[in-house]
Amino acid sequence: MIEFKADCGHTVRAKDDDAGKAVRCAYCGREAAVPDDERDELDFLFSEVGEKTSSGSGSAKVGRKAAAAAGMPFTPRSQSDPFNVIKKMAYVAAFLICAIFVGKKYVWPMISDAIEGEQRQVATADPKESEVRTPTRPLSTSRPSPRKTSRNGFIKDDLSAHGDSGVYVLPVPDDVIVYYCDADESKEGFDWVLPGAGDNEVSRVDGARAIKLDPGSYTFVAMVAVNNSHFMRRYEAWGYIATRKKIEDAKIKEGEVKSDSPAIREIDRFFRPDASEATGVMRIRGRVHIARRYSVRVDVDKWSMLAPLFLPYIGDLARTVELLPSEQAFKFNEQDIRTELDYYEVDPKVQTYIGDILGRVGTISYRMDDNKMQLFRIDPMDGAFIAVALDGVTRRADAYVDAK
């Protein structure tokens, strides 16, 4: 069966034997020439699209024999341009590629974040749960996307641009005030950070930043006011308001420092242990401040990391992740980290969250089965895993700060 378009535009069907002959259109009653067998099979496909070609170009779609048999003059039909179809298909392909790119880069991350939020709400429905939890995602997908760099270690800033050696301060919250000076016996307490202490050797930095220092030993003190807005808003769920009242009940005078009092014990109870050596509380310009002291060693051509973490000591590491900066600051080999955590017998169910925390702030303390605290860190120079026992620091399994 041969199908073709008559001059009136309607489809005419003819037998194969009528190829090259003339048949009558059932619609308009006029004779129409049946295409002969030389017609390209693709002509019918392109018969409704295309552009007219010059009268002398291409092969005719109506057979010359059929036109002669019908006593009609032979007029070649307009040919379709397959390149026009290809061009339209290219436009469609380009549109689809753009749509896929935009969806993958912008739309899917938004959907993924929404799903992640719902998963964490379900996972943290019981705030009294212990640190042993079932992670919602594998370690390789839980952290924010890293910067495009092949170097492991600290990737938030180019440390080499600040000098050959020094200390990068990465506190939580980010408005922590940090004082530092050369280490000596006179700096073992907290008095040297008070206004009017008369020590010209003391320097101060606010928030996260790189400090260029020569190789040597240094003493750092990180301070934050008890009425810090970050504490008041984000830590209220874990009873920080009651902790603040206990600290202020110590009746600390202006310029006074206390390092052994019920206020200190309350601070150590509420906040998660970090690399600090001592805790203090003082009143400066009318505001009560919590302080932690650290010793930092700077080696030749090396950068050290100081991360004062004023985080509530909660057993739910998934909730701890939510209190941290969202940007990834450290890059490391994930399989190496898992191997090390397995070596220290860290439950696989919480390794996801530990890896997430290490990627954001580079350090976290963890309670071992014997109640002793272990500090896990990432080397800022090469991303190596470091574990340090916090001597004399223990926490019982029931010592977590519970959500109210």
Average pLDDT, rounded, for the chain: 80
What's the pLDDT score for residue 68?
Answer: 54
% pLDDT > 90, the chain: 46
Cβ burial of 273 (10 Å; 0-12, 13-18, 19+) is buried
| CA angle, 375 then 176 then 400, to 5° | 45
Smallest CA-to-CA distance from 366 within 389, 383, 391, 385 is with 389
Neighbour-count burial for 154-180, b at 16+ CB within 10 Å, e otherwise: bbbbebeebeebbbbbbbbbeebbbbb
The contacts of residue 43 (CB under 8 Å, 6+ apart) are 35, 61, 80
What's the pLDDT score for residue 52?
Answer: 44
The average pLDDT across 145-152 equals 62
Contact 276, 398 (CB under 8 A): no
Distance, CA of 223 to CA of 257 (rounded, Å): 12
Contact 83, 119 (CB under 8 A): no
Distance, CA of 159 to CA of 303 (rounded, Å): 7
Distances (CA, A) of 325 to 45, 171, 173, 174, 311: 60, 10, 9, 9, 12
Contact 256, 291 (CB under 8 A): no
Higher per-residue confidence, 186 vs 2:
2
Distances (CA, A) of 204 to 178, 254, 293, 319, 344: 6, 20, 14, 31, 37
Structure tokens at 186: 């006179």
Secondary structure (3-state) at 76: coil
Secondary structure (3-state) at 275: coil
Tell me 165's DSSP state.
Answer: S
Judged against a pLDDT cut of 70, whether residue 145 lies above it is answered with: no
Q: How far is CA 196 from the centre of its chain?
A: 44
pLDDT tens-digit series, residues 55-101: 444 444 445 555 555 555 555 544 456 777 788 888 888 888 888 87
Higher per-residue confidence, 30 vs 351:
351
Judged against a pLDDT cut of 80, whether residue 398 lies above it is answered with: no
Q: How far is CA 120 from the centre of its chain?
A: 15
Structure tokens at 198: 């008369």
- Of 125-129, 161-165, 328-332, the one with minimum mean pLDDT is 125-129
The average pLDDT across 346-353 equals 93
pLDDT tens-digit series, residues 225-271: 999 999 999 999 999 999 999 999 988 898 888 888 899 999 999 99
What's the pLDDT score for residue 177?
Answer: 93
In the chain, where the domains are located: 1-80, 82-123, 139-394
Strand partners, 5: 11
Confidence of residue 403 (pLDDT cuts 50, 70, 90): low
Confidence of residue 207 (pLDDT cuts 50, 70, 90): confident
Tell me 352's DSSP state.
Answer: H
- What residue ranges in 158-302 does DSSP mark as E strands? 166-169, 177-182, 203-206, 209-212, 216-225, 257-258, 278-284, 287-298
pTM across the whole model: 0.63
SS (H, E, C) 119-163: HHHHHCCCCCCCCCCCCCCCHHHHCCCCCCCCCCEECCCCHHHHC
Judged against a pLDDT cut of 90, whether residue 312 lies above it is answered with: yes
Judged against a pLDDT cut of 80, whether residue 203 lies above it is answered with: yes
- Of 112-116, 140-144, 241-245, the one with minimum mean pLDDT is 140-144
